[in-house]
Structure 1
Amino acid sequence: MAEPVLRLEAVTRSYNIGQPSEIEILHAIDLRLDPGEFLALMGPSGSGKSTLLNLVGLLDRPTSGEIWINGTATTHLDDAELTRLRGHTIGFVFQEHHLISAFSAIENVMMPMVVDHSFETAEIRARASELLARVGLTKVANHAAMAMSGGEQQRVAIARALAMAPDLVLADEPTGNLDSKSADSAFELMREVNRDSGTSFLIVTHNLELAQRCDRIIDMIDGRLVG
């Protein structure tokens, strides 16, 4: 069996540790995501979905338990090692696209590669152009992000998430601010990337219709995974 892209074992996350107000948000989370899998995570607001996504994205550390990314145990990595692993393995797509509004579409897609310092300048622009073509935005590559529609901005955000060729993309309500047509288009784009490149996706969504088009659905209730 192939090494999972993501594996969580008995992961917990608590806040105000050692204080009378200590509270455990996530309770003994076990999760496995295989290469090429497209997984939907659902659950009511306040159930712990965002906390879990922050842990999986290596933006926060668990209180206990272990998280493996491509077989690498992450708990004891230092901040620099976590940053490097995150930058080369995980892409992010958010409900708010978080584009740099004054930058063009292609400049936004180039940013992760520029920050990484491991690409030649010509290679960066060529890859960004290729990714924008993949999401159908070649004609507006040099347009300012702030001048684009919500659907176009989310397509730029998806292209940016793929800039470092990650094995895993985390998408937090990626269609939440889009109309139904744009939401369907953005979802199908991610599904197409998943099918064509084998990139694994973990998508947090409240949209049951979209979730039912994923490979698997898991629900989070009161900090526990069910289903």
Structure 2
Amino acid sequence: MPTEPLPRPACPPDGAVTQRGLALQIEGLRLCGEGGRQLLQIPRLQIAAGAAVVLRGPSGAGKSTLLHVLAGLITPQAGRVLWGGTDIAALRDGPRAAFRRATIGLVFQDPLLFEELSAQDNAALTALYAPAAARAEIAARAEAALARLGLSPAGRRAAASYSGGERQRIAVARALAGDPAVLLADEPTASLDRANADRLSADLIALARQRGQTLIVASHDPALMALAGRVIDLRDGEIAEAQHG
């Protein structure tokens, strides 16, 4: 008996964003430091897949600590931290590291570059730890990200020869080269002058939205806050308020 062919999925319209980011859901998160001092106490927080969010708060409010928990670099004493359907807080060290490599791109205030390597080699660094079949694709994405960020990969200039703003853009390209579903950035513009900070803010938001990634940035930068879709205030490790743009 003949069967009708299955309908093909509709192609997205030109310019449409492919949603690949993961939603975040936090439930009953509690993290204490030495002597039982509260570092984080977040009963509930939800961030939509593909959202661009800035964590704002004074020094010591818990912004960087929360990013480390979201990345699985710190394990809380209680609570769930769900990226999609995966509770990163409940994973053992090996699976957690594998999930982070496959899913999360990290950008720190210090670019943490290998000074003797070129911009291209630094941006494609994750290829060294990837399966052989994936290395060429990672290198191609690194080259494309550098070009999008205004850094031509031509030549073999050592990373040490680049300016502060250029070095931070190399770090962003490195985070993007792995094509993560989630991008976490800790004060990425803090050490830059105003012009470079504004440029990096615009590029970071635009690239994340273009790729449909979930972006969470800890920052005091008003340019980043103005571009983000949501600002979450942290005080003493607790959410004080959250505003939507």
Note whether the superposition's TM-score is higher than 0.5: yes
Q: Which residue of 1 aligns with 2:96?
A: 82
Shift of 1:5: 2.3
Shift of 1:124: 3.8
Identity of aligned residues (%): 36
Between the two proteins, the alignment pairs up a number of residues equal to 222
Structure 1 position 5 matched with structure 2 position 23: yes
Moved more, 92-101 or 26-35: 26-35
Moved more, 103-112 or 200-209: 200-209
Over 4 Å off, 4+ runs: none
Structure-2 separation of matches of 1:169 and 1:23: 29
Structure 1 position 199 matched with structure 2 position 213: yes
3, 25, 33: which one pairs with 1:15?
33
Q: What letter matches 2:220 in structure 1?
A: H
Structure-2 separation of matches of 1:140 and 1:187: 24
Structure 1 position 60 matched with structure 2 position 78: no
Moved more, 197-206 or 27-36: 27-36
Q: Which residue of 1 aligns with 2:118?
A: 104
132, 149, 152: which one pairs with 2:166?
152
Structure 1 position 219 matched with structure 2 position 213: no
Structure-2 separation of matches of 1:76 and 1:221: 26
For residues 43 and 143 of structure 1, do their structure 2 counterparts lie closer, same or farther at Cα, with a shift above 3 Å needed? same
- TM-score normalised by structure 2 residue count: 0.85
Residue 177 of structure 2 aligns to a residue whose secondary structure is coil
Moved more, 159-168 or 133-142: 133-142
Moved more, 125-134 or 151-160: 125-134
Shift of 1:130: 2.0
Q: Is the 8 A contact 2:21 2:50 kept in 1?
A: no
Structure-2 separation of matches of 1:170 and 1:203: 6
Q: What is the CA RMSD across the aligned residues, in angstroms?
A: 1.9
For residues 212 and 73 of structure 1, do their structure 2 counterparts lie closer, same or farther at Cα, with a shift above 3 Å needed? same
Unaligned runs of 5+ in 1: none
Residue 26 of structure 1 aligns to a residue whose secondary structure is strand
Q: Which residue of 2 aligns with 1:130?
A: 144
Q: What letter matches 1:50 in structure 2?
A: S
User: What whole-Å deviation, never above 9, does each CA across 1:119-143 have from its counterpart, x for those lacking one?
Assistant: 4544343332222222221255632
Q: Is the 8 A contact 2:22 2:182 kept in 1?
A: no
For residues 122 and 165 of structure 1, do their structure 2 counterparts lie closer, same or farther at Cα, with a shift above 3 Å needed? closer
Q: Is the 8 A contact 1:41 1:202 kept in 2?
A: yes
Shift of 1:4: 4.9
For residues 63 and 107 of structure 1, do their structure 2 counterparts lie closer, same or farther at Cα, with a shift above 3 Å needed? same
Residue 209 of structure 2 aligns to a residue whose secondary structure is helix
For residues 35 and 28 of structure 1, do their structure 2 counterparts lie closer, same or farther at Cα, with a shift above 3 Å needed? closer
Q: Is the 8 A contact 1:129 1:141 kept in 2?
A: no
For residues 84 and 203 of structure 1, do their structure 2 counterparts lie closer, same or farther at Cα, with a shift above 3 Å needed? same
User: What whole-Å deviation, never above 9, does each CA across 1:128-186 have from its counterpart, x for those lacking one?
Assistant: 22222222212556321110011111111110001111111111100000000000110
Q: Which residue of 1 aligns with 2:53?
A: 39
Q: Is the 8 A contact 1:36 1:201 kept in 2?
A: yes
Higher Rg: 2
